Amino acid sequence: MKAIVSDLKSIDETRQGEAFYMPDIDEVNDINLKRFYIESYGCQMNFSDSEIVASILAESQYHPTRDIEKANLILLNTCSIREKAEETIRKRLRTIDKLKANRPGTMVGILGCMAERLKQSLLDDEKLVDLVVGPDAYRDLPRLLNRAEDGDKGINVLLSREETYADISPVRLESNGVTAFISIMRGCDNMCSFCVVPFTRGRERSRDPFTIVSEATHLFDKGFREVTLLGQNVDSYKWQHPETHETYTFAQLLEQVARIHPDLRVRFSTSHPKDMTDDVLHAMASFENICNYVHLPVQSGSSRVLALMNRTYDREWYINRIEAIRRIVPDCAVSSDIIAGFCTETDEDHQDTLSMMAWADYCMSYMFSYSERPGTLAARKYKDDIDEDTKKNRLSEIIALQRQLSAEHNARDVGKTYKVLIEGDSRKSDLEFKGRNSQNKMIVFPKLPGFKPGSYADVFVESANSATLIGRIVQS
């Protein structure tokens, strides 16, 4: 899984850290109030996990704040996907340590994948943190906080085969009140040779579908109009009823969530090509409110490199899945993840990736150069033998091609009308709304009376660039 972005950037530039908070608590002037501040880095799952953490902290009478200088507890929910992501966290910790020196008693904690990967060394080597908590240990936060308040260091990075946090109602932090994430599964059983996720998030386990439908229904009743079903690999979702032994697949779950209400849009991420079944595509085609957008990471266009990556599919298999998407959901947009400069990658392999991008016609991609992660299969078996200049040049070519593809993709939308879910004001003007169409493309358009965030509008696209469509509301 990767961070959500609406324009063309390498992953190094995406969602490096965002503070989450509830908007009203800072107006309460109570020096005895315990407040926490949380920053999330990396993928959608981390942002979703931060909302689970907020719910658990609320049970211990901690309240979120937008002001880090008011916080008694500062948490960084971290990512380990690349070395640079971890360097960013270390730099941030040193900055926070200076703030902590002026606020005796302030506690600092590391959550998530970096906590799981580095474990005790974060406490021993950094001496900048009081808590180290892995993705499956958030329920233990109250106990660990009590230990830290008594002057001890708190650490729990045990991975679980059962934990899904299904019974915890997430606190929707910094929510726009329109869109929300729902975690449907945790962990990953795909041992891609470049990826640290199976080691930091553990084995794959799926959440009870009835709790997922209940959470989505509750969100709709609260005014939310779009949910994104999250998992490291949503297509491998599988849950078996403990009594009837009936098995629920991802396609069945999609249909159940879509049936909640026609006005509730349903998205999902991320899909693994080996598990993207026709059943899922037929579910998308059967329900107008299941969005016509699939994030289908290719990683490389070379079958030889894909085998080294242990992706368990080849170029031909991936092409077959794209053809199935085009056949069953003709107006579906497809995005991807791409790695430049994986071990032994040749110029021919790189050209295979570029040709795959052009053929698949991605609407956008998350693009980055290979970064060796300790403990992965690639780190143990392969030499990271592509020099940094070559990686940089190949990544630049990939980004340039994607920018061209995105511009062409968006240019084809000019003159079309799309049903858009209004999410709020545009970044540049409070006279304009922003929202996404079913294909996950951001559209900006002037406000008209009678429309507000959470409502749908038919928007005619008048112009476009590589990142955004620009249009106007049309009324019948």
| Whole-angstrom distance, CA of residue 204 vs CA of residue 250 | 14
Beta strands 131-133; 469-473: pairing state: unpaired
Peptide bond into 88 cis (omega under 30): no
């360097």: which residue's tokens?
87
Paired tokens of 355: 């040709």
Beta strands 62-64; 73-78: pairing state: unpaired
Q: Are 96 and 74 within 8 A, CB to CB?
A: yes
Can you give the pTM of this predicted structure?
0.87
Predicted pLDDT at 268: 97
**Confidence label for 28 from pLDDT (cuts 50, 70 and 90):** low
CATH 2.40.50.140 in the chain is located at: 417-473
pLDDT in tens, 172-201: 887 789 999 999 999 999 999 999 888 888
Count CB neighbours of 71 within 10 A.
26
CATH 3.80.30.20 in the chain is located at: 179-411
| Whole-angstrom distance, CA of residue 463 vs CA of residue 412 | 10
pLDDT in tens, 121-130: 777 766 788 8
| Whole-angstrom distance, CA of residue 100 vs CA of residue 72 | 9
| Whole-angstrom distance, CA of residue 137 vs CA of residue 140 | 6
Predicted pLDDT at 11: 32
- Three-state SS for 98? helix
Phi, psi of 206 (to 5 degrees): -100, 150
Question: For the chain, what percent of residues have pLDDT higher than 90?
Answer: 69
| Whole-angstrom distance, CA of residue 319 vs CA of residue 359 | 9
User: What dotted CATH number matches 179-411?
Assistant: 3.80.30.20
Q: Are 199 and 157 within 8 A, CB to CB?
A: no
pLDDT in tens, 370-426: 999 988 999 999 999 999 999 999 999 999 999 999 999 999 999 999 999 999 999
What secondary structure does DSSP assign to 101-158, as a single string? HTSTT-EEEEEEHHHHHHTHHIIIII---SEEE-TT-GGGHHHHHHHHHTT--EEE--
Q: Nearest Cα to 114, choosing from 130, 129, 134?
A: 134
Say whether pLDDT at 48 is over 50.
yes
Gyration radius (Cα) of the chain, Å: 22
| Whole-angstrom distance, CA of residue 56 vs CA of residue 29 | 23
Say whether pLDDT at 17 is over 90.
no
Q: Which fold has domain 417-473?
A: OB fold (Dihydrolipoamide Acetyltransferase, E2P) (2.40.50)
Say whether pLDDT at 16 is over 50.
no
- Three-state SS for 275? helix
| Whole-angstrom distance, CA of residue 175 vs CA of residue 78 | 20
- C-alpha distances in Å from residue 229, one per residue of 124, 375, 423, 438: 37, 29, 18, 15
pLDDT in tens, 298-332: 999 999 999 999 999 999 999 999 999 999 999 99
CATH 3.40.50.12160 in the chain is located at: 11-156
User: What dotted CATH number matches 11-156?
Assistant: 3.40.50.12160
Beta strands 107-112; 73-78: pairing state: parallel
Paired tokens of 452: 């507000």
**Confidence label for 430 from pLDDT (cuts 50, 70 and 90):** very high
Count CB neighbours of 263 within 10 A.
13
pLDDT in tens, 326-358: 999 999 999 999 999 999 999 999 999 999 999
What type of residue sits at position 446? P
| Whole-angstrom distance, CA of residue 355 vs CA of residue 362 | 11
Q: Between vectors from CA 331 to CA 325 and to CA 333, what angle results, nearest 5°?
A: 70
Looking at per-residue confidence, does 178 or 147 come out higher? 178
Least confident stretch, 69-83, 304-318, 357-371: 69-83
DSSP 299: B
Say whether pLDDT at 20 is over 90.
no
